[in-house]
Amino acid sequence: MIFLRRPSLVLLSPIFCFALLQTVSAQQPQTPSADSAKTAPADPNAAADPAASTAPAQPTGVLPPGKRVLGVLPNYRTTNLTADFEPLNAKQKIAIALKDSFDYPLVGVGALYAGLYQLEDSHPQFNQGFKGYLRRFGTSYTDQVVGNMMTEGILPIAFHEDPRYFRLGEGQTRHRLVYALTRIVVTRTDKGSPSFNYAEIIGNGVSAGVGLAYYSDDRDFASFAQNWGTQLATDAISQVLKEFWPDIKHKYFHHNKPVAAD
């Protein structure tokens, strides 16, 4: 999860979502109908393979999520909705939060955003120059770590919530888009039942509040609310990427290749 302190980047999200609709709509997986399943010829070799009768059926058209989005961003907490639900224990939740916080590509992403903030002169209290850049890098990376630990580790343990994103993987593109965007307010409990996403909403609020300690020029309610909303919007877009990235990857990078996880 990457936190953007400048909402101007998140304002591009409607354009991003529209482009995604156009890209993925041509790649809708086709699931066999009930009638076709009844009339399909039986495989004469199926009975000869004892493992085939005991192996769990694989959902048609659902691609594996992969460990990275765009080949860079960590994607350790995504699983297919059709997979058998197995709850995570506290140790596993913390492990997910740590992986999302300290995976090596995120250092480069943090450095990239620090450079962007430097160009925008975001938080002029940090000044310019190399010291100013280091301060922007340190604070933006701290935002990320605090947010991840709260929304994916500490608060999911406290509220007995599952921090994973459960990917639909098939169906109408618009339905999947709405599903992905709304996962910031809907999640699963450790028992697998739907629940309000307390960890996401409160966790991002805590992160925005912690930021008041080192963003002295943003210590007012308007700035706090803006940062909180920006973080939620960023997470919503990241859910969309998690939902559609396997389809995009399969369409553009895996022609005539077997589907495999990253």
| Residue-wise pLDDT tens digits, 208-248 | 999 888 888 778 888 889 889 988 998 999 899 999 988 88
pLDDT of 33:
43
* Model pTM score: 0.72
pLDDT of 7:
44
pLDDT of 250:
80
Alpha helical stretches, state H, the chain: 7-10, 13-25, 34-39, 50-54, 90-102, 105-120, 129-148, 155-159, 173-181, 198-211, 221-253
Q: What are the boundaries of each domain within the chain?
A: 61-253
Tell me the residue type at 206. Answer: V
Where the chain has pLDDT below 50, the residues are 2-3, 6-16, 29-60, 259-262
pLDDT of 161:
97
